[in-house]
A and B are shown apart, each in its own frame.
Chain A
């Protein structure tokens, strides 16, 4: 039991006008096209990512049509089915989720939340977006080249990816690899900005441990991406050379269609190691920003401080570190040494510890909270459910003896869609509903939002729960059609048809969301500066939407952490991070009437966990 006075730092004089010189554009093009304002770049990233994501959504609908109703649709044949699978996976994982979380939310939120005027290298930031757009255009161009996009699966395993017989083995795969290389170059430019801005451009009083968890999540995910993407970059270059110049990095000597190919001595397993050295951290590149954002959504809407802030930060760091030590659990079926598999199974199970810690902390934040079931909160709670479900099947698959029989089946598809498709996308939706008022100045429609949530949430369960069962039955993934099998009952086909219907409904309902985005931009309820009554700095800007430069003539000074909700004795149930303490030694006067009256609060007892005890509790 320690007795401490509550929280905030003593009064500090406000920051002078920021020294940062911003380039203020005069023309429309300078302001909205070649913009160096991180907020505009964020919107550019978001619109591009969502646009390309819609293409991937349509592709998944086509795949489901084929699986649910085989042989009904003549425009789907085995080879373009594989091309759709590949495009769907690649777009969703890299060009949608990575770009949206880091390029979209990262660009918008980092400068605002740390109290900076802009990213530290605005020009590089602008180039980052245009390189990303170029990568997207290259990706889309693959639909129009001879023999179409590659059908190698999103993992692009050689040798099959560049052998004749695989769809798109010429142009398709080369454009795919070059597009990935450009994506990585563009991302590195953006990533340097995100990391250095968090390290260097925090406003006065904003220590690392006062950062909102959203920033922590994006920051750590960016570090992971900066370290992991080079592995994909290297393998993309090496495979491009294999395809175009006939080198043998990954291609062994082999005979294809009775013909000796010119390759000699390459190692396909080497590709798998490089790919998954990127591929596993990629899961956390997508998950960590989602973790951070969900923490903030839950804390704001439960009107409670996040439970165990320090643990949350440490868990983010631990997950980041461990995520580089588990990659080979994607390769149990590659014939690896059993001891090797044992090692990776162990690290995989260990990573569940910090992850579970985060889940407990979210639940404990909800515990006895003043819960407001707003649309962002619904999505955040939906995420916690879905993430637990997907995470549990991850524990199954992390064990070698369970993974080997299941790894070729729909069980895996169900697992990774639950954990890294549905979960992050629920957070994306929640975050859009949460920050849209700041971006546009208008609220999204609440009724449409709730409809969107319930159909999406229940619908995804209707899709992926039965899919686990299909996996247990042995229904293989990646197959164009099941054919006749003695082990798989006919009822599996009926289940597949049901899944397809659910998937089409969920897909169609996203139109409501898009309609809401557009309608609310013009007709939505004006939001005001801080509609959610949140503490973090982006809600304290003088204008909404914030102007270029974010804050007024003076940068805010931060006096407290981001989670002062329902502080006992405070006039309101939230205290913004930049609100000075009421009475402090040396402070000139009482500034705002909302201020926490320190005399009234008095010395406060903390319980063992360091949490202030609620009044009367």
Chain B
């Protein structure tokens, strides 16, 4: 991996600034990456979030290896929730394409659909908590339960943060701004939703893998 990264950044880092000669036309472009700044910002933030979830998952694995690990009966509603979140991701992707094509009606529809699906997912997660609680797991107080609550809560909070941006974008669309003004926001939402869907799939796989 180091070699791959090294090869990728070689043109940037392997220059001799004290003898450098470059034509005028290049000077124009080397101020920045050719991406919207906010997109780079989101990328950096997703890296931070990845670090957070990766650390949690490795902490979970380390704890699991101990002899006294007790497994958890996962509530079945999680399967339904997963399907709902996948649909939300699909809706976001559809909205993104609609924004590319400039179809504001479809953007409105897509955003609302994605929002409803995401809220359903979050409600479903709360229901799963309720079920676990009802079957006495919260009281049992073992690490598996605690990790389950922690992982789902952090994932849900990230999704709620995304819902804030979703809310602002949807409000703009409902107020009737033109599609070009929201295209970037919709695209960022879509990227973020796909990312959180991926995180959820990984978390769910880890949880499934470790139950029973």
| Chain A residues near B (Cβ < 8 Å) | 4-7, 9-12, 120-121, 188, 191-192, 195-196, 199-210, 226-228, 230-231, 233-234, 237-238, 241, 246-249, 262-267, 270, 273-274, 277, 305, 309-310, 313-314, 317, 321, 557, 560-561, 563, 586, 606, 610-612
- Docked complex Cα distance between A612 and B19 (Å): 9
Indicate the size class of the contact surface on chain B: 35 or more
A234 to B53, CA, bound (A): 9
* CB atoms of A238 and B150 under 8 A apart: yes
Task: Give chain B interface residues in 3-39, CB to chain A under 8 Å.
Answer: 12-24, 27-28, 30-33, 35, 37-38
19 additional A-B pairs beyond A204-B31, A305-B18, beta carbons within 8 Å, are A12-B27, A202-B31, A203-B31, A205-B27, A207-B12, A207-B30, A208-B13, A209-B17, A210-B17, A231-B55, A238-B150, A248-B142, A249-B146, A267-B63, A310-B15, A310-B17, A557-B27, A561-B20, A586-B24
Judging by beta carbons under 8 Å apart, are B19 and A4 in contact? yes
Scoring B residues 45 to 71 as 1 if CB is less than 8 Å from chain A, else 0, what string do you get? Answer: 101100110011001001100101110
A–B complex contacts, Cβ < 8 Å, 6 sampled? A7-B19, A9-B21, A9-B22, A201-B31, A310-B13, A610-B19
B136 interface residue (CB < 8 Å to A):
no
Q: Are A267 and B13 in contact (CB under 8 A)?
A: no
- Residues of B at under 8 Å CB distance from A? 2, 12-24, 27-28, 30-33, 35, 37-38, 40-41, 44-45, 47-48, 51-52, 55-56, 59, 62-63, 66, 68-70, 141-143, 146-147, 150
CB distance from A335 to the nearest CB of B (A): 14
Known contacts A196-B37, A226-B51; is-contact A241 B19 (Cβ 8 Å): no
Question: Cβ of A209 and Cβ of B48 under 8 Å apart?
Answer: no
Residues of chain B lying within 8 A (CB to CB) of residue A241:
146, 150
A103 to chain B, nearest CB (A): 17
Whether the Cβ atoms of A234 and B143 lie closer than 8 Å is no
Report how far A610 CA is from B18 CA in the complex, Å. Answer: 8
Give the chain A neighbours of B146 by CB distance below 8 A.
241, 247-249
Whether B47 pairs with A246 at a CB distance below 8 angstroms is no
Chain A residue at smallest Cβ distance from B43: A196
Give every chain A residue within 8 A of B44 (Cβ-Cβ): 192, 195-196, 226
Contacts of B22 in A (CB 8 A): 9
Contacts of A270 in B (CB 8 A): 59, 62-63
- Knowing A226-B44, A238-B150, say if A610 contacts B37 (CB, 8 Å): no
B55 touches A196 (CB 8 A): no
A277:B55 contact, CB within 8 angstroms: yes
Whether the pair B30, A205 counts as a contact (CB closer than 8 A) is yes
In the complex the two chains form, is B150's CB within 8 Å of A237's CB? yes
Task: Write out the residue numbers on chain B whose beta carbons fall within 8 Å of the beta carbon of A192.
Answer: 41, 44-45, 48
A584 to chain B, nearest CB (A): 9
Does A200 contact B32, Cβ atoms closer than 8 Å? Answer: yes
Given A238-B150, A246-B141, A274-B59, A188:B48 Cβ within 8 A: yes
In the assembled complex, the CB of B173 is this many whole angstroms from the nearest CB of chain A, namely 22
Q: Are the CB atoms of B19 and A12 closer together than 8 Å?
A: no
A-B pairs with lowest CB-CB distance, top 5:
A561-B17, A230-B52, A247-B146, A230-B51, A200-B32
Chain A: CB-nearest residue to B54: A230
B185 CB to closest chain A CB (Å) equals: 15
Q: With A196-B40, A265-B68, A273-B62 as known contacts, state yes or no: A204 contacts B18, CB within 8 Å.
A: no
Report chain B residues within 8 Å CB of A246.
141
Residues of A within 8 A of B68 (CB): 265
Asked, given contacts A199-B40, A200-B40, whether A606 binds B19 with beta carbons under 8 Å apart, the answer is: yes
Complex Cα distance, B60 from A238, in Å, reads: 12
On whether the beta carbons of A206 and B24 are closer than 8 Å, the reply is no
Which residues of chain A are within 8 angstroms of B13 by Cβ–Cβ distance? 208-209, 310, 313-314, 317
Contact of A267 among B21, B45, B52, B62 (CB under 8 A): B62
The answer to whether B12 and A209 have CB atoms under 8 Å apart is yes
A401 to B82, CA, bound (A): 51
Q: Compute how far the CA of A561 lies from the CA of B15 in the bound complex, rounded to whole angstroms.
A: 11
Task: Determine whether the beta carbon of B32 is less than 8 Å from that of A199.
Answer: yes
**Nearest CB to that of A253 among chain B residues?**
B68
Closest to A559 in B: B27
Cα–Cα distance between A193 and B97 once the two chains are bound (Å): 29
User: What is the chain A residue whose CB lies nearest that of B67?
Assistant: A265
The answer to whether residues A207 and B17 also contact, given A201-B32, A270-B62 and a CB cut-off of 8 A, is yes
* A227/B18 in contact, CB under 8 A: no
Partner of B143, one of A6, A248, A314: A248
Are B41 and A264 in contact (CB-based, < 8 A)? no
In the complex the two chains form, is B18's CB within 8 Å of A563's CB? yes
Residues of B within 8 A of A321 (CB): 2
In the assembled complex, which residues on chain B have CB atoms less than 8 Å from the CB atom of A7?
18-20
**Cβ-defined contact, B24 with A12, below 8 A:** yes
The answer to whether A234 touches B17 (Cβ under 8 A) is no
CA distance A134 to B63 in the complex (A): 33
Question: Once the chains bind, are A199 and B33 in contact (CB under 8 Å)?
Answer: yes
CA distance in complex: A5, B18 (Å)? 10
Residues of chain A with a CB closer than 8 A to B47's CB: 226-227
Q: Which residues of B contact A209 (CB under 8 A)?
A: 12-13, 15, 17, 20
Nearest chain B residue, comparing its CB with the CB of A317 = B13
By the criterion CB–CB under 8 Å, are B141 and A262 in contact? yes
Check if B18 sits within 8 Å of A265, measured CB to CB.
no
Q: What is the distance, in angstroms, from A371's C-beta to the closest C-beta of chain B?
A: 21
Given known A-B contacts A7-B19, A563-B18, A274 and B31 have beta carbons under 8 A apart: no
The minimal Cβ–Cβ distance linking A206 to chain B, given in whole angstroms, is 7
Smallest distance from the beta carbon of B64 to chain A beta carbons, Å? 10
Q: How far is the CA of A557 from the CA of B27 in the complex (A)?
A: 9
